Amino acid sequence: MTDIKAEWPGVVSEIKVNVGDTVAEDQEIIILESMKMLTPILSPTNGTVSEIAVEQGQYVDEGTTLAKLD
């Protein structure tokens, strides 16, 4: 299992996948807004989304788990 974590604090602007989706390495998973910039959070590997741990509009701190891949 691979945890996808926030690399900096921000607000979850958009969730681009659903639980059960198959994703490819470097595919956009979540868009994080920080300091008025939208930054895509990319999948570090190929896998299947097993959990989305955040909701759109939620503020997250650095290191917060955003999603999990199997």
Residue 45 belongs to domain with CATH number: 2.40.50.100
Would you state the pLDDT for residue 22? 97
Would you state the pLDDT for residue 42? 96
Residue 43: DSSP 8-state: P
**Domains identified in the chain, total number:** 1
Residues of the domain holding 7:
2-69
Give the integer Cα–Cα distance in Å for 47 and 56.
Answer: 22
pTM: 0.90
Sequence-separated (6 or more) residues with CB below 8 Å from residue 70? 1, 2, 47, 48, 50
Would you state the pLDDT for residue 59? 98
Would you state the pLDDT for residue 67? 97
* C-beta separation of 28 from 16 below 8 A: yes
pLDDT in tens, the chain (70 residues): 899 999 999 999 999 999 999 999 999 999 999 988 999 999 999 999 999 999 999 999 999 999 999 9
